[in-house]
Structure 1
């Protein structure tokens, strides 16, 4: 008769030495805002890939790995799942660190802009201040405004759905969805969480839409109420894709 595994089978294991597949740790305090955004996106992409690994086994972070009598399940790769969970936990901690440094960097960026604008004389040198703002935002066009840069695009909207009634249109780019924004949406996972927690309640959504009469965009503030009784699938009736 076999011997059941110990009670720590669900706890992820962390191998000694560096975790395979991950880049060496970097000093976040030495990174600028643009580099921090890139590091944030790298971590989110890896988290998404690791979540897909768990999904391929039909498990999540809290799924039991043992049978009812305490033996390891033989229908899943327990070792791989534990290693994947360990990596996810480590990356989530890394993501929190990056977000902390990124928020500090953005606050510093705006403080520098305000000081520069206050010091710049009116009139002829106003362009210099605008130039400083453009260069400080980074060479990738990083937008660090109050709503931030768009992080998702509305791919489709079902007629008569909550999204349609709120005024969302295919092609809109989402700048904020409730408390979700370009800094914290984690590959739209936070948007899904907000939708699930806000059924029947109003969610403020800010989008950018292309102006049909020009080449520029204009901003819209919408109110969306997720609900499941509208006659279609899901709580929104629209499809969002990350940018």
Structure 2
């Protein structure tokens, strides 16, 4: 079954952001600001991409959506970071309504729309477990009745870590949180044109069955200077330095390695 991931990398959409801007030019200036872009690349390099490289099931496609106005130096840097990843396809789009363009790209990526597929979103500052694709496929196989009776079914791996990364390494806390973007997948039946981008992730359970699994940590959500969802006043999440056991877990489960984090963030 085809598996398709979608990652929005500083794409200047109309809508799709909690941080509001009066014009698209203001949004582009905000997204491409030097400090912000440097942090996005640091997180992309140390968090978002390594876990994709080390998936135990390599049979997936990752669409990375960028704006057609992304400066060449950033486009070249992204190309270099993903050059060794055959699953990655970088797509350049002009500013358009967020959900419209993402839905189009997901449906266009389906090699055979008459066959079912799996879809997931992947934020550029989060990690998924290296067995996410494998477990997503297995969970769908484990639910034949739901698959038979529904056009769409969500699979939510709801245990993970909130983490902060920097020159000090990794600080984190384990938590259970339902319907985060990270490690939330969706089965889509053949001849169904709905996509995971038709739904706000935290409301997806209103529209389809959700299979929730909390047996193991399956994601790392980073809190950083430019989280769109944290630009407004929100309750802080206390984090602590990783134990030696957690450092090993982060490396094995998420391909997030503390020494590499320290190195990349120190190069700024």
TM over 0.5: no
Report the TM-score when normalising by structure 2.
0.24
Asked which structure has the greater CA Rg, the reply is: 1
Structure ranking higher in strand proportion: 2
Which structure has more relative contact order (CA 8 Å, sep 6+)? It is 2
Report the TM-score when normalising by structure 1.
0.26
